[in-house]
Every structure is written in C-alpha cells, then in structure tokens.
C-alpha cells in the first residue's frame, strides 16, 4: 500500500483497528475502506471487542470489489484528490 501510494498508483486499503490518517496511504485516504465499531481506532495488537475483529468482518468482499473497480476506472493520478470519502 505505501509503495503503491509513493509511486502514485491507485490504492484501496482495508483498515480495521488502526487509524488511516495516522498509518494509511499518503495522499490517498479516499481509497480507505473502514467500518469501525465503537472501539476503533484502538491501535492494539489484539482485539478486545465482544465480536472479535468486527472492524474487519464488517467490510464485505462486495464493498472491496466495488472500491477496486472504482479506483481502477478513475484517473491515473487519483492521489491528487484531497477528499476523505473513505473515512466514516
């Protein structure tokens, strides 16, 4: 993800417990997929949620596929778009 972002390639990133604004792809936060429960971002190396890894299980394969298709269909320099639509 970080190498692709540095090379200005479209990126779709799946985030669970971490904070994309802190550890996400540089200048490509619009490609971030998240579905954070109340406990996220926790930045913990283990999950303490009553539903283990709920933050990742909420992101469906269909949502990932749609995001990839959207990014691939977009302009090649999509990293220039400053909006944060992938952040809920």
How confident is the model over 26-60, as pLDDT tens digits?
A: 888 888 998 887 877 887 778 888 888 888 889 99
Percentage of the residues of the chain whose pLDDT score is greater than 70: 84
Domain that holds residue 70: 2-80
Which pLDDT belongs to residue 85? 42
Token pair listed for 48? 């303490």
**What's the CA gap between 42 and 67, in Å, rounded?**
24
Q: Is residue 25 part of a domain?
A: yes
Q: Is residue 87, in this structure, part of any structural domain at all?
A: no
41 cis-preceded (ω within 30 degrees of 0): yes
> How many structural domains is the chain composed of?
1
Q: Per the domain annotation, does 86 fall within a domain?
A: no
pLDDT of residue 88: 42
């Amino acid at each position: 993800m970080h190498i692709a972002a540095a090379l200005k390639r479209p990126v779709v990133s799946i985030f669970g417990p971490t904070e994309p604004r802190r550890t996400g792809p540089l200048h490509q936060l619009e490609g971030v997929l998240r579905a954070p429960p109340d406990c996220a971002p926790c930045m913990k190396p283990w999950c303490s949620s009553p539903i283990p890894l709920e933050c990742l299980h909420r992101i469906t394969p269909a949502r990932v596929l749609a995001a990839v298709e959207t990014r691939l269909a977009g302009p090649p320099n999509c990293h220039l778009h400053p909006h944060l639509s992938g952040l809920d």
